[in-house]
Amino acid sequence: MSGTAQIGVTGLAVMGRNLARNFARHGYTVAVHNRSYARTQSLVEEHGDEGTFVPSESMADFVASLERPRKVVIMVKAGGPTDAVIDELVPLLEEGDIVVDAGNAHFPDTIRREAALKEHGLHFVGTGVSGGEEGALNGPSIMPGGTREAYESLGPILEDISAKVDGVPCATYVGSDGAGHFVKMVHNGIEYADMQLIAEAYDLLRQGLGASAAEIGEIFAQWNTGDLESFLIEITADVLKHTDADTGKAFVDIILDQAEQKGTGRWTVQNGLDLGVPITGIAEATFARALSGSVPQREAARAVLPAHAAQWEVKDRDAFIEDVRQALYASKVVAYSQGFDQIAAAATEYGWDIDRGAMARIWRGGCIIRARFLNRITEAYERAADLPLLLADEYFTDAVASGLPAWRRVVAGAAQNGVPTPAFSSSLAYYDGVRAERLPAALVQAQRDFFGAHTYKRVDREGTFHTEWSGDRTEAEA
């Protein structure tokens, strides 16, 4: 016997609850289930008028309330809780049913789960969902993996409830097994980089201009009308203009300066290391959070480490603001370029066919990194689907080149004045590194050969060589 609900959601904490409401508001009959029934009941009591919900107390009733092939969205805490729900669900499902994990799962877990469920004739669709509570309710960006077959029946529903930009849904098929969660992971890594770059720009303006938080909020609001227009710039302006009700101080000044993370940025960096992709912007952003939380080290350092830096004197206020804006844009392009490189490398490594232009397209709305300039990324991949480096696309080459003098002035100024700008600085170093005619890596290779006979290649002929460093220093083919 099959039920009437077109889609089901199990796990009704805020994200699951909002996703269920989003489905219902789009006219789908939604089966709802939660470990504690009270939450299911409160959803139906509070929002039952938004659409048709079919509440169930037991997992068995929940599964029975779904039409076939069943589509079950799991929205529980990533890790053990997801496995527990899957274990409970699997014996109740039948061949062809689709299990959707919409949490922030680590992609190797998704690959493992997809393979396990395939054994049972079930589809497992690891799906990245971005946009927080608000997005889940009003239209998130959705990044589903799994089989194309599953996407055929599930995809239209996901596209329906996703955010739209110019009428185009911010949801599309990403690639097989763990590809959806992988792309969501990189999204989060880029989110970390974007946030850190914005924070560094704020710090530069604050220290360079001696401006108040609210004044800088105005600058960000102004920036949000141009190339930098994005959700993160917009909320930054709001945060900086906000005053703490208790103290009357700028809100940003009453917050402890120790940034936390749930782990997706760390996963992105770990994977960048595994794949050998220099995602330096994301890595610096992740380490900047770690540094901020290194309390004993910071205390010890504050007590003894001198700055030997001058008091920053900015002569031309407007020119400095424009320099920081250009440096921010250029650094941001680098962070995205690196993130897209990571997606390309992963696609090769894990056997995914990922359309990077489409990823930029579904990030234009709904998600945390939604931004005007993502259109430019889509266009770049439309011009050349296999672009080796986003920075090499004509639009980005020109955009970064025109900001280069400002970028160098800002990074040099920060160094001279003792303002930490790890993401700005490392992005510029990446830019100079990746475009360099020759890198000192040649010397590193020589050193490796010296102490470990690790061999090297020559610029002037084929082959692998070793020099007898401890002997007569003759060279032999290895």
Q: What is the rounded (10 degree) CA torsion for 17, 22, 24, 30?
A: -50
The active-site residue, picked from 71, 184, 241, 332, is 184
CB of 33 closer than 8 Å to CB of 9: yes
The residue nearest ligand 6PG at its CB is 130
- Residue 45 tokens, joined: 């009591």
Does 130 belong to an annotated binding site?
Answer: yes
Q: Return the number of the residue (169 or 265) whose C-beta is nearest ligand 6PG.
A: 265
Q: Return the number of the residue (104 or 427) whose C-beta is nearest ligand 6PG.
A: 104
Does 314 belong to an annotated binding site?
Answer: no
Residues 6+ apart with CB under 8 A from 137: 18, 19, 21, 22
Among the listed residues 415, 387, 407, the one whose alpha carbon sits nearest the alpha carbon of residue 307 = 415
CB of 54 closer than 8 Å to CB of 31: yes
Q: Return the number of the residue (183 or 324) whose C-beta is nearest ligand 6PG.
A: 183
Helix (H) / strand (E) element for 310: namely none
CB of 33 closer than 8 Å to CB of 22: no
Shortest reach from residue 245's CB to ligand 6PG, in Å: 24
Shortest reach from residue 476's CB to ligand 6PG, in Å: 51
* Stated length of the chain: 478
Does 359 belong to an annotated binding site?
Answer: no
Whole-number Å distance between alpha carbons of 55 and 306? 63
Shortest reach from residue 369's CB to ligand 6PG, in Å: 8
Shortest reach from residue 230's CB to ligand 6PG, in Å: 13
CB of 62 closer than 8 Å to CB of 34: no
Whole-number Å distance between alpha carbons of 96 and 422? 49
Name the region of 129 (left: φ>0; alpha: ψ -120 to 50; beta: rest): beta
Does 448 belong to an annotated binding site?
Answer: yes
Q: Return the number of the residue (100 or 219) whose C-beta is nearest ligand 6PG.
A: 100
Shortest reach from residue 397's CB to ligand 6PG, in Å: 29
Single-letter amino acid, residue 456: Y
> Is 184 annotated as catalytic?
yes
Positive or negative CA dihedral for 113, 58, 15, 140? positive
Does 298 belong to an annotated binding site?
Answer: no
321 three-state secondary structure: helix
Q: Return the number of the residue (131 or 413) whose C-beta is nearest ligand 6PG.
A: 131
Shortest reach from residue 144's CB to ligand 6PG, in Å: 15
Does 454 belong to an annotated binding site?
Answer: yes
The active-site residue, picked from 114, 191, 200, 284, is 191
Does 456 belong to an annotated binding site?
Answer: no
Helix (H) / strand (E) element for 31: namely strand 29-33
Alpha helices (H) in 90-131, listed in sequence order: 107-119
Does 80 belong to an annotated binding site?
Answer: no
Q: Return the number of the residue (3 or 103) whose C-beta is nearest ligand 6PG.
A: 103
> Is 241 annotated as catalytic?
no
- DSSP category for residue 49: G
Chain residues that interact with ligand 6PG, rule: CB under 6 A: 104, 130-132, 188, 191, 261-262, 264-265, 367-368
**Binding-site residue positions:** 11-16, 34-36, 76-78, 104, 130-132, 187-188, 192, 262, 289, 448, 454
Just list the catalytic residues: 184, 191
Which segments are annotated as binding site for substrate? 104, 130-132, 187-188, 192, 262, 289, 448, 454
- Binding-site residue positions for NADP(+): 11-16, 34-36, 76-78, 104
